[in-house]
Structure 1
Amino acid sequence: MSLDRQFSRAVACVSNQRLGKLPTPDLLKLYAWYKQATVGECHTDRPGWFDGAGRAKWDAWDALGAMDMDEAKQYYIDLVE
């Protein structure tokens, strides 16, 4: 199965699950790898001080730097499996 198909299946699996049971660090990883895999490197402004959740998600994504989109897809798949 192709990487893109595996990634799509993993995203669907996550969308259908209750993610509240996952630890926050894992949720942030999933968010960051999803953004990296679908958008690429983070080039947006960091959310403001009062948006703690937004800042945490932005920090996780920004920390990936120039990670390859396919590499991010594979990390996402591996965590979901």
Structure 2
Amino acid sequence: MCQVEFELACAAIKLLKGPVSDEEKLLVYSFYKQATQGDCNIPVPPASDVKSKAKWDAWNGNKGMSKMDAMKLYVAKVEELKKKEAG
């Protein structure tokens, strides 16, 4: 696994046209944030901000995961979504 594969997956996710569930979007987001920024470093948003709170919870759920592991999981999830879209 290298940075190039991760960057290719980042580009590939933008080209997906098939439906991606909110749960899958949150998972991809959480791996991306963990891979690029490490552990969640922002305060918890208010519960009334449902979208931001869901994103925060997803990212914070990866606390302690290495950036390399997050990159691997991100690439694997994007590949899964590409296969799903291809049918």
Residue aligning to 1:13: 12
* Amino acid paired to 1:13: A
CA distance in 2, matches of 1:65, 1:76: 15
Residue aligning to 1:55: 53
Query: What does 1:1-81 align with in structure 2 at a 5 Å threshold?
Result: 3-18=2-17, 21-81=19-79
Report the alpha carbon displacement of residue 23 of structure 1 after superposing the two structures with TM.
Answer: 1.3
State the identity %. Answer: 32
CA distance in 2, matches of 1:3, 1:25: 26
* Amino acid paired to 2:74: Y
Taking structure 1 as the reference length, the TM-score comes to 0.90
Q: Output the aligned Cα RMSD.
A: 1.3
Q: Which structure 2 segments of 5+ residues have no match?
A: 80-87
CA distance in 1, matches of 2:39, 2:10: 19
Q: Which stretch shows the higher mean deviation, 55-64 or 45-54?
A: 45-54
CA distance in 2, matches of 1:65, 1:79: 18
Report the alpha carbon displacement of residue 33 of structure 1 after superposing the two structures with TM.
Answer: 0.3
CA distance in 2, matches of 1:48, 1:15: 29
Q: Which structure 1 segments of 5+ residues have no match?
A: none
